[in-house]
Amino acid sequence: MSFTNAPAGSDCREHSLQDTSRIRIPVSEIAGGDPTSYDQDIRRIARRYQLDPPLIKAIIHTESDFNSRAISRRGAQGLMQLMPETARDLQVVHPFNPQENIDGGTRYLRSLLDSFKGDLILSLAAYNAGPGLVSRTGGVPKIQETREYVYKVLTRYKVYKSQQSPLLVKE
């Protein structure tokens, strides 16, 4: 039995759970994926676009908690939470494919950094709220979610950068 908010076929029907007290879901299925499982792809793709691998890892952690099947309430998909239109613009055909999603999201961040003259804070705000809004406001928009997003990514970036992990070791 599968539960979804996006029916996959005409035979799908609405179902409500009466007593959820007996349902036990392993934390691993809620919390996301293994933080180290994408390190090789992150390292390879980040270097391709001349970005720091721990930065990409921090974005993935913040966006999807390493869940390659994540879908936001607004429809963003995959590890780096690409909106469908952005994924199309980036020619990401399979947004739930980890390598394709990381490549598209990293390429998108690279373009934002280029647009905002290397300003990481503005680029992260644009990744979350959209580059048009950041350009119109001339800075980080006064949106609580965006401000928290920038803070979380920067905090996690600092942690990943300071860790001695295989992510930082050259291939």
Q: Side chain identity at 130, as an amino acid letter?
A: G
DSSP string, 13-73: -----S--TT----HHHHH-S-TTTTHHHHHHHHHHTT--HHHHHHHHHHHHTT-TT-B-T
Concerning whether 63 is annotated as a catalytic residue, the answer is yes
The Cα 75–Cα 44 span in angstroms is: 27
Cα Rg for the chain, rounded, in angstroms?
18
Which amino acid, 63?
E
Instruction: State how far the Cα of 101 lies from the Cα of 138, in Å rounded to an integer.
Output: 29
Task: Single out the catalytic residue among 14, 63, 100, 171.
Answer: 63
How open is the CA angle 135-51-116, to the nearest 5 degrees? Answer: 15
Positive or negative, the CA dihedral 25, 27, 31, 36 is negative
The catalytic residues are 63
